[in-house]
Amino acid sequence: MVTRLRDASVLWAQGGLGNQLFQLNAGLTLSEHPATLLVSGSSFGRDRLRQFELGALLPSSALTSSREDFRLGQPYDWRGRRRSKTRDRSLTTVFSDPETLPSAFRPGTFNIGFFQDAASLALPTDATTALLAAYRNAVSAGSASANRPVLHVRRGDYTTSPAAQRTFGTLSRRYYDDACRALGIPIDESIIFTDDPAAVEREFDVPRSNIIGPEDIESPLDTLVAMSRASALVIPNSTFSWWAAELASHVPVAAPSTWFFDRPGNLRRTGWVSVPNA
């Protein structure tokens, strides 16, 4: 058990599915030996809003055990301050930033970060999209959206959380109208994925049958792969739909021109159509 941790690089997964996928992609592409990458889902024991999704993409041998999670401990204390050491003192804790990225995911490291900086965005995504594609091929989710234009309308915390609003703003119907015009797709022929079907039905004046909400599909992972079957995508500034677009590949994508309002950086791919936030 101890030897496995020392020989592996360990990723501490956190956040929603989009964030988890960026973390997994960094681990798979930066590890000296990707086959020895271990993923810990221990953060989700205290996360009431999100669930650990990577277990559906990875073999059980790639996941840490409860005993290994105990040896690792939590990288943050109850006040949210970083801990520099794991319980197992033979391991090195690496909190990712552009300076530490070259030392991340070496054997014997415990890696924590979101991996959405410019260097991480430049990493290839082939290994991660291959896992997503294999999952997509194994499930039937998404037949309603297959080969149809898809809009992702995120409300939820983007409208109720002041912190999320400061970071991401809110995209109105006008943004989606402008994006659909830019791609040449009609909203009334599109499938709309959202976390708030009632609000979208009112705001977009479309029938409920054109809307897919959380209760209509089994999991966030199933939602993401269903979105990836689209013929075109209009996405918000969301890592979740970023990965749906990445998996869709070669389909037209429209995304907001501004991704973050409270810091520099932009996750929008250069080949995507840039639409002003509105």
pLDDT: is 26 or 145 the higher one?
26
Dihedrals phi, psi of 176, to nearest 5 degrees:
-70, -35
| Contacts with 129 (C-beta within 8 Å, 6 or more apart), sequence order | 246, 247, 249
Nearest Cα to 33, choosing from 12, 62, 55, 58? Answer: 62
| Contacts with 143 (C-beta within 8 Å, 6 or more apart), sequence order | none
Which of 45-49, 50-54, 190-194, 247-251 comes out lowest in average pLDDT?
45-49
Residue 89 is predicted with a pLDDT of 87
| Contacts with 172 (C-beta within 8 Å, 6 or more apart), sequence order | 278
Residue 100 is predicted with a pLDDT of 63
∠ CA(243), CA(218), CA(213), 5° rounding?
A: 75
Task: Inform me whether the pLDDT recorded for 94 exceeds 80.
Answer: yes
Q: How far is Cα 154 from Cα 231, in angstroms, rounded to an integer?
A: 20
Dihedrals phi, psi of 40, to nearest 5 degrees:
-105, 130
In this structure, are residues 193 and 150 in contact, taking their beta carbons and an 8 Å threshold? Answer: yes
Residue 101 is predicted with a pLDDT of 66
In this structure, are residues 244 and 152 in contact, taking their beta carbons and an 8 Å threshold? Answer: yes
CATH code for the part of the protein at 139-275: 3.40.50
Mode of pairing for the β-strands spanning 191-194 and 211-212? parallel
Segment (H or E) for 266: none
Domain ranges of the chain: 2-121, 139-275
Q: How far is Cα 48 from Cα 50, in angstroms, rounded to an integer?
A: 6
Residue 38, strand partner residues: 10
- Cα(first)–Cα(last) distance of the chain, in Å? 52
Spell out the alpha helix ranges (H) of 31-65.
Answer: none
What pLDDT digit, counting tens, does each position of 79-91 carry? 889 998 899 888 9
What pLDDT digit, counting tens, does each position of 108-166 carry? 999 999 999 988 999 999 999 999 999 999 987 557 788 999 999 988 766 667 777 78
CB atoms within 10 A of CB 234: 32
Where are the strands (E) in 30-148, listed by range?
38-40, 92-95, 109-112
Dihedrals phi, psi of 70, to nearest 5 degrees:
-65, -40
